[in-house]
């Protein structure tokens, strides 16, 4: 029968039957699988635009073929998508064929294959491995690349009848139909074996004859056309004509198909299971101990190792290494400080086998560095016990055994100042020193570090005593020089001591002469500025000397500058006493401490000489000069005096745990040193001198107001050195000044740099604030210079932080916590104080509030403040002195004042602020009126038209004060106690006023009027003349008298009516006021002065 290929004929059976003759067979492919209905449903949803439109082609990139879609032989049309059954028979196969390539390419891309490499054999292999359900049925390929497909077999005869359905992939096996009738007469589906089967172990050759299978190949016989090779892991054991393969035993393997005999695994490799295709290498740390055909690996025992997989036999660890366990892959090199001289060792030997600390024992090797120098380096893997030595940073120390009195060598860590290069190479760094018999007992060389040079222990700079503490002492007959060495003394070395003695005498004579000869009334402002800034400069130098004494290594050149100003702390190093008069540290300290006593004695001698030579032996009258000169010396050099006495308490720590006195480095602090305890006792006794001086200053400042009021001339002249530099009312600043200096002198005693830093800040910053707030100095430029120098010190404190080598973080944290808690506590106390003031306090800060009209009674108010200020312990409020913000004015009147003293002058009730004060005090503060001669009580008409008479009263509205409240307060004022003051302002009138005030307000106790030191009229040298009929003019004269009296030897006198002026009067101070030349007393004094 003739077979017609399926691709050569298309159409239905009804269409083909008329043209195909009976007797012919026809294979008809089945092109519609079980997914065909789903495909048709999807196909009907599409239109031609989904394929041919420009947007579709851009989105899906389908029009990239050689023949464009629009040029296809069968172009797409809407009818194609509307009737999917019209699709040609081969098109489902083509659809699935395209999809096969898509699936294969996608799989390769998922495996990371670049698109450019998806081609050729790689693409073909991927295509043959594809399997999926397509629209034409299941799609897959056999070994030769054929696809399994379903066919219908038609045998053409007049009537259509299906005989059988065949599949090409299954050979001649029919899928459906009838049994075949074979030539042998048999009926069966398949060819009967009778015609072609071979025996087991044989297969058909090319001539279709049965041939015996070679070794490594098998056959089951039958229709086999070839012998099959034994699979991997099996063999035929060398047999020919085998019908089955035998699995390889453990220890054997068959790496190829068709293996004749299984091979034994080589040494280092094993196979554990049957049918091994390859032998597995023994893992790291294991081997087969040299055996072939092994089925298991054995561990490398301690001392041996297996460095690679597949190791035939484990090797011994080389010398300098060890393996302390099984399965060792790599032997461990002996750590630094251990060694091993033999091979195959399970441990290394320690360099140190004693009972002490073995931390610093190591193994060293000396090498040449890049500079060509030999140096020790730590070495691991030592095989020689001779490599054992002390590590870099440690040194060998002989330690005594307490049990048997023997010694042993131990490696001990090198401390600060030691440079241990390894083994026995021990050196001492520059700036440190130790003796040769105790290299680790290291002193730090404070001060000039050049005296301690780098080298072996016990070595100092040239000319220094190697056995002295920190190389401090020079050999006898030598003196220390700047480069750290000691040189021979010369004749010129006697000059510094002589120069210092002469300079000190000259300075003391100059100070005494200035104090003795300078009159406060003749001192110009420029001279005062020079004196104040000079004292500030001396104080600044002493402050810098304190900075030089703190525990900080200042960088150059500031370090040298601090060394220079250290002379102001009475350091005697620059005098080269080693050459002129060598002294022990204790003697030197006692001489330095009590040098201040010598200064006092010398000043007394200078005083005696001056009094005899210039003042005819009048010691009583010149006593203030002596007191002032001695006091000035103490005040100017207060820091230096205190610092010199505190020297035994200023110690510097050393690496060896000892500490030495900063200024006397050979004296060890708080130890068995015989000099230190006497120094402490002498210093403690000597500090009573400056403390007594400070106490005396506090007493003088406390008594000063009373002495001012009483006119105690001798007292004021004696202690003028304390307050002549300060503004009136700011004399208390001398206590702040000396207190700051005292605390500054104590700072170096604190020791720890962090604490010293905090202390300096706590001292300098508050005093800077006090200076800026009070401006105490008499000359304004001096306030600026003081503030500027203090700011400079504050900046140095900040730089101080950068120079501190180490600060205890825990201490800093503690200080921060204290500051934090302190800040919260201050806020809490401030709030509590506010509550207390509001609800509990009965004692107010101001005794009197002086309400006054400045033009009508400004000077009179000033006079009352001066007079009342010395008679009450409280303050007197005068807005020009005490008010910093006008907004606070009414609050002070209402809450901080015991009595409102209303000085009633002519226009006081027209001043809005004065009226506001009266309104505020009406219901909160008692009021006492002081009626001046020109005051006229307001009438009803004035009050009714108060808004018109005083239009500025509207300014008080913002403070809640209305015109009605003002009118009520003025009427209330008329009912309050009043004191009338006449036109004459005299001491008697003021005393009468104070008495009347005390009677008017019993709630404000007044102190008795202190007795004044009277000066008869004819002995007054300085006269103050004013218009005796003008209250303000007389008040001005009285204020001038009370302010300048403390500064003059004989207090001035205010000229009154009927006063006789003696011939001794030399100076006339004339107060110019309106109408003064119509006053008979004033004109008469001018005539007298002219005559």
Look at residue 1038 and give its three-state secondary structure. Answer: helix
In a domain, 108, yes or no: yes
Q: What per-residue confidence (pLDDT) applies to 885?
A: 64
Q: What per-residue confidence (pLDDT) applies to 813?
A: 73
CA distance 862 to 237: 136
In a domain, 531, yes or no: no
User: What is the domain extent for residue 1085?
Assistant: 1017-1090
Average pLDDT (509-530) is 75
Cβ atoms of 168 and 153 closer than 8 Å = no
Same domain, 107 and 178: yes
Query: Using N-to-C axis directions, what is the helix angle for 558-565 and 525-549, rounded to 10°?
Result: 110
Average pLDDT (83-93) is 72
572-581 — which CB contacts under 8 Å span 24+ positions?
574/496, 575/496, 575/497, 575/500, 576/479, 576/489, 576/493, 576/496, 576/497, 577/497, 578/474, 578/478, 578/479, 578/480, 578/489, 579/479, 579/489, 579/490, 579/493, 579/494, 580/493, 580/494, 580/497, 581/497
Query: Of the segments 151-165, 832-846, 1047-1061, which one has the largest average pLDDT value?
Result: 1047-1061
HSE, side-chain direction, 13 A CA sphere, residue 978:
14
CA distance 209 to 204: 5
Same domain, 876 and 991: yes
Query: Of the segments 152-166, 167-181, 625-639, which one has the largest average pLDDT value?
Result: 625-639
Q: Which residues contact 90 (CB under 8 A, 6 or more apart)?
A: 7, 31
pLDDT at 904 over 90: yes
pLDDT at 855 over 90: no
Output the CA torsion 1053→1057→1059→1062 (10° steps): 70
**The two three-digit tokens of residue 148, written as one number:** 């399994």
Confidence of residue 172 (pLDDT cuts 50, 70, 90): very low
CA distance 541 to 135: 106
Phi then psi for residue 363, to 5 deg, are: -115, 130
Of 786, 807, 828, the residue that ends a domain is: 807
Confidence of residue 8 (pLDDT cuts 50, 70, 90): very low
DSSP conformation letters of 758-801: HHHHHHHHHHHHHHHHH--BSSHHHHHHHHHHHHHHHHHHHHHH
CA distance 777 to 1077: 37
Q: Which residues contact 25 (CB under 8 A, 6 or more apart)?
A: 1, 2, 3, 4, 153, 154, 155, 156
Same domain, 993 and 1055: no
Q: How many helices (H) and strands (E) does the chain have?
A: 33, 48
Cβ atoms of 1065 and 1021 closer than 8 Å = yes
Cβ atoms of 979 and 990 closer than 8 Å = no
Same domain, 51 and 152: yes
Same domain, 405 and 457: no
CA distance 552 to 470: 18
Q: Which residues pair with 384 in a beta bridge?
A: none
CA distance 829 to 833: 6
Same domain, 178 and 160: yes
Burial class (CB in 10 A: 0-12, 13-18, 19+), 642: buried
CA distance 62 to 626: 119
**The two three-digit tokens of residue 510, written as one number:** 């100059």
Cβ atoms of 759 and 749 closer than 8 Å = no
Same domain, 724 and 761: yes
**The two three-digit tokens of residue 476, written as one number:** 């006898």
Q: What per-residue confidence (pLDDT) applies to 460?
A: 93
Q: What per-residue confidence (pLDDT) applies to 434?
A: 92
Burial class (CB in 10 A: 0-12, 13-18, 19+), 481: middle
Per the model's pLDDT, the better-predicted residue between 205 and 992 turns out to be 992
Look at residue 630 and give its three-state secondary structure. Answer: helix
Same domain, 50 and 163: yes
Confidence of residue 522 (pLDDT cuts 50, 70, 90): low
pLDDT at 1065 over 80: no
pLDDT at 694 over 80: yes
What integer best gives the mean pLDDT of the chain? 81
Three-class DSSP labels, 897-943: EEEEEEEECCCHHHCHHHHHHHHHHCCCCCEEEEECCCCCCCCHHHH
DSSP β-ladder status, 374-378 and 361-368? antiparallel
Same domain, 411 and 433: no
Cβ atoms of 47 and 78 closer than 8 Å = yes
Average pLDDT (283-292) is 89
pLDDT at 570 over 90: no
Three-class DSSP labels, 221-243: CECCCCCEECCCCEECCCCCCEC
pLDDT at 168 over 50: no
Same domain, 602 and 703: yes
pLDDT at 578 over 80: no
Q: Which residues contact 970 (CB under 8 A, 6 or more apart)?
A: 909, 915, 918, 938, 943, 946
Q: What per-residue confidence (pLDDT) applies to 246?
A: 92
Same domain, 113 and 14: yes
CA distance 88 to 77: 15
Is the omega angle on the peptide bond into residue 973 within 30 degrees of 0, that is, cis?
Answer: no
Q: What is the pLDDT of residues 225-276, one digit of tens each?
A: 889 999 999 998 888 888 899 999 999 999 999 888 898 999 899 999 999 9
Model pTM? 0.52
Q: What per-residue confidence (pLDDT) applies to 282?
A: 93
Residue 825: count other Cβ atoms within 10 Å of its Cβ. Answer: 11
Nearest to 419 by CA among 405, 407, 430, 410: 430
**Measured distance between the N- and C-terminal CA atoms of the chain, rounded to whole angstroms:** 176
CATH code for the domain of 973: 3.40.50.10140
Confidence of residue 2 (pLDDT cuts 50, 70, 90): very low
In a domain, 693, yes or no: yes
DSSP conformation letters of 844-891: -SEEEEEE--HHHHHHHHHHHHHHHHTT-SSEEE-HHHH-S-GGGHHH
Q: What is the pLDDT of residues 460-489, one digit of tens each?
A: 999 999 888 899 888 888 888 888 899 888
Average pLDDT (173-199) is 64
Cβ atoms of 326 and 300 closer than 8 Å = yes
Q: Which residues pair with 931 in a beta bridge?
A: 904, 980
Residue reference for tokens 């393969």: 245
Of 788, 807, 826, the residue that ends a domain is: 807
Same domain, 1060 and 927: no
Cβ atoms of 150 and 137 closer than 8 Å = yes
In a domain, 263, yes or no: no
Look at residue 499 and give its three-state secondary structure. Answer: helix
Measured in whole angstroms, how far is the alpha carbon of residue 414 from the centre of its chain?
31
Count of domains for the chain: 6
Q: What per-residue confidence (pLDDT) applies to 808?
A: 63
In a domain, 410, yes or no: yes
In a domain, 683, yes or no: yes
């Amino acid at each position: 029968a003739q077979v017609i290929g399926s691709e050569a004929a298309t159409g239905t059976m009804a269409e083909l039957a008329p043209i195909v003759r009976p007797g012919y067979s026809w294979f008809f492919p089945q092109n519609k699988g079980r997914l065909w209905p789903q495909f048709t449903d999807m196909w009907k949803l599409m239109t031609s635009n989904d394929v041919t439109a420009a947007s579709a082609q851009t989105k899906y990139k389908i029009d990239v073929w050689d023949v464009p879609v629009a040029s296809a032989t069968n172009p797409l049309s809407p009818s194609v998508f509307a009737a999917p059954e019209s699709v040609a028979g081969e098109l489902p196969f083509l659809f699935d064929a395209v999809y096969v390539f898509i699936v294969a390419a996608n799989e390769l891309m998922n495996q990371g294959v670049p698109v450019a490499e998806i081609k050729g054999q790689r693409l073909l292999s991927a295509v043959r491995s594809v399997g999926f359900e397509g629209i034409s049925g299941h799609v897959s390929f056999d070994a030769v690349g054929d696809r399994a497909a379903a066919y219908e077999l038609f045998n053409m005869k007049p009537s259509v009848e299906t005989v059988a359905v065949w599949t090409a992939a299954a050979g001649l096996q029919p899928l459906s139909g009838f049994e075949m009738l074979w030539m042998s007469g048999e009926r069966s589906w398949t060819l009967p074996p009778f015609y072609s089967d071979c025996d087991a172990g044989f297969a058909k050759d090319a001539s279709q004859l049965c041939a015996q299978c070679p070794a490594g190949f098998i056959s089951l016989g039958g229709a086999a056309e070839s012998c099959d090779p034994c699979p991997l892991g099996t063999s035929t054991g060398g047999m020919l004509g085998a019908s089955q393969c035998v699995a390889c035993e453990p220890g054997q393997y068959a790496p190829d198909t068709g293996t004749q005999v299984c091979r034994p695994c080589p040494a280092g490799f094993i196979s554990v299971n049957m049918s091994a295709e390859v032998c597995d290498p023994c893992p790291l740390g294991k081997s087969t101990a040299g055996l072939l055909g092994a089925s298991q690996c054995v561990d490398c025992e301690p001392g041996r190792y297996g460095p690679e997989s597949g190791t035939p036999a484990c090797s011994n660890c080389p010398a300098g290494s060890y393996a302390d366990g099984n399965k060792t892959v790599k032997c461990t090199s002996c750590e630094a400080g251990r060694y091993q001289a033999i091979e195959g060792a399970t441990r290394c030997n320690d360099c140190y086998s004693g009972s002490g600390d073995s931390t610093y024992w190591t193994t060293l090797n000396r090498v040449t560095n890049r500079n060509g120098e030999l140096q020790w380096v730590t070495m691991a893997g030592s095989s020689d016990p001779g490599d054992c030595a002390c590590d870099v940073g440690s040194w060998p120390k002989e330690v005594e055994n307490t049990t048997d009195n023997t010694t042993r060598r131990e490696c001990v860590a090198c401390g600060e100042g030691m440079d241990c290069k390894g083994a026995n190479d021990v050196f001492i760094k520059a700036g440190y020193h130790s003796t040769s018999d105790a290299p680790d007992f290291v002193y730090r060389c404070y001060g000039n570090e050049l005296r301690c040079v780098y080298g072996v222990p016990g070595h100092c700079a040239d000319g220094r005593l190697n056995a002295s503490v920190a190389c401090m002492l020079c050999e006898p007959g030598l003196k220390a020089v700047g480069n750290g060495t000691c040189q021979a003394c010369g004749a010129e070395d006697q000059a510094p001591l002589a120069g210092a003695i002469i300079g000190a005498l000259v300075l003391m004579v100059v100070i005494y002469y200035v104090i003795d000869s300078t009159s406060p009334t003749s001192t110009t402002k420029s001279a005062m500025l020079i004196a104040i800034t000079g004292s500030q400069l001396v104080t600044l130098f002493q402050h810098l000397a304190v900075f030089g004494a703190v525990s900080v290594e200042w960088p150059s050149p500031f370090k040298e500058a601090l060394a220079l100003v250290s002379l102001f702390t009475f350091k005697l190093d620059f005098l080269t006493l080693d050459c002129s008069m060598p002294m022990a540290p204790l003697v030197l300290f006692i001489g330095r401490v009590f040098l201040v006593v010598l200064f006092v004695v010398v000043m007394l001698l200078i005083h005696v000489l001056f009094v005899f030579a210039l003042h005819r032996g009048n010691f009583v009258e010149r006593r203030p000069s002596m007191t002032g000169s001695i006091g000035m010396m103490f005040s100017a050099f207060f820091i230096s005096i205190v610092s010199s006495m505190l020297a035994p308490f200023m110690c510097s720590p050393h690496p060896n745990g000892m500490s030495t006195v900063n200024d006397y480095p050979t004296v060890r602090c708080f130890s068995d040193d015989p000099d230190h305890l006497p120094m402490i006792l002498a210093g403690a006794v000597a500090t009573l001198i400056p403390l007594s001086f400070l106490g005396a200053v506090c007493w003088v400042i406390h008594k000063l107001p009373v002495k001012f009021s009483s006119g105690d001339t001798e007292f004021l002249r004696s202690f003028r050195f304390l307050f002549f530099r300060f503004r009136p009312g700011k004399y208390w600043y001398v206590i702040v000044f000396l207190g700051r200096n005292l605390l500054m002198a104590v700072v170096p005693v604190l020791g720890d740099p962090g604490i010293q830093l905090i202390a300096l800040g706590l001292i300098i910053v508050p005093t800077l604030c006090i200076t800026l707030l009070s401006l105490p100095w008499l000359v304004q430029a001096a306030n600026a210079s003081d503030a500027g120098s203090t700011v400079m010190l504050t900046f140095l404190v900040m730089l101080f932080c950068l120079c501190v080598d180490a600060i205890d973080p825990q201490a800093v944290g503690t200080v921060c916590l204290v500051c934090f808690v302190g800040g919260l506590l201050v806020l809490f106390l401030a709030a509590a104080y506010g509550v207390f003031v509001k609800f509990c306090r009965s004692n107010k800060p101001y005794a009197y509030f002086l309400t006054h009209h400045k033009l009508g009674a400004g000077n009179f108010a000033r006079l009352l403040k001066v007079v009342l200020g010395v008679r009450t312990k409280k303050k007197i409020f005068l807005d020009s002195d005490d008010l910093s913000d006008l907004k606070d004015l009414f609050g002070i009147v209402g809450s901080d004042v015991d009595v409102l003293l209303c000085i009633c002058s002519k226009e006081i009730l027209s001043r809005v602020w004065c009226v506001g004060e009266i309104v505020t005090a009406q219901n909160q503060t008692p009021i006492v009126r002081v009626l001046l001669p020109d005051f006229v009580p307001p009438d009803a008409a004035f009050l009714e038209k108060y808004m018109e008479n005083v239009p500025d009263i509207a300014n008080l509205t913002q403070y809640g004060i209305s015109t009605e409240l003002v009118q009520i307060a003025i009427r209330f004022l008329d009912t309050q106690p009043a004191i009338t003051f006449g036109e004459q302002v005299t001491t008697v009138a003021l005393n009468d006023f104070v008495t009347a005030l005390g009677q008017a307000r019993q709630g404000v106790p007044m102190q008795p009027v202190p007795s004044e030191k009277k000066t008869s009229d004819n002995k007054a040298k300085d006269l103050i003349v004013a218009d005796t009929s003008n209250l303000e003019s007389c008040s001005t004269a009285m204020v001038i008298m009370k302010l300048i009296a403390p500064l003059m030897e004989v207090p001035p006198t205010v000229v009154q009516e009927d006063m006789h002026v003696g011939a001794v009067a030399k100076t006339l101070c004339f107060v110019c006021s309106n109408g003064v030349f119509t006053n008979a007393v004033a004109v008469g004094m001018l005539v007298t002065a002219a005559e």
